[in-house]
Amino acid sequence: MDVFTALADPVRRDLLIRLTDGPVRAGDLGDRHFISRPAVSRHLRVLREAGLVDADLVGRERFYHLDRAGLEPVLALLEDLSAGARAEPGQGRTPDRPYATREARRAPRGPEDRAHAARR
């Protein structure tokens, strides 16, 4: 499961916020929401698959805790966005988006592109 998909749901975000103070029993996590225990379990499963929470079995109880390592993609995105905001105009390139401006994206890059541009 994608971290950003998991974070898209407000109930899951609230569950994560509750886990910032430390481990919480699975049964206690749903007490603030008017949703069933199976629904809470599904939300926790999504968060676990995304790497955002982990569970420890203590006796018959499952205690969920926040797995901060799962937040790395979110932190990396925020860092990239804040670095882009500090960059000079036209310098906001990333490896997956090599063209910072429309003009740079449309500029001919090689002999084939120049030939194609000349035919237009």
> From the first residue on, what is the mean pLDDT of each consecutive set of 10 residues in the chain (120 residues)?
93 94 90 85 96 95 94 92 68 55 54 56
pLDDT of residue 31: 81
Say how far apart CA 90 and CA 105 lie, in whole Å: 11
pTM of the entire predicted model: 0.67
Counted residue by residue, the chain has a size of 120
pLDDT at 114: 56
Residue 73: per-residue pLDDT:
92
- 39 sits in the region (left: phi over 0; alpha: psi -120 to 50; else beta) called alpha
Backbone angles phi, psi at 69, to 5 degrees: -65, -30
Q: In the prediction, which pLDDT does 49 show?
A: 96
Do 87 and 101 meet the contact criterion of CB atoms below 8 Å apart?
Answer: no
Domain segments of the chain as ranges: 3-66, 71-113
Whole-angstrom Cα distance, residue 32 to residue 15? 9
Q: According to the model, what pLDDT value does residue 91 have?
A: 56
Question: Which two three-digit tokens encode residue 111?
Answer: 């002999």
CATH among 1.10.287.3240, 1.10.10.10, 3.30.1330.10, 3.30.1380.10 for 3-66: 1.10.10.10
- The residue behind tokens 């407000």 is 10
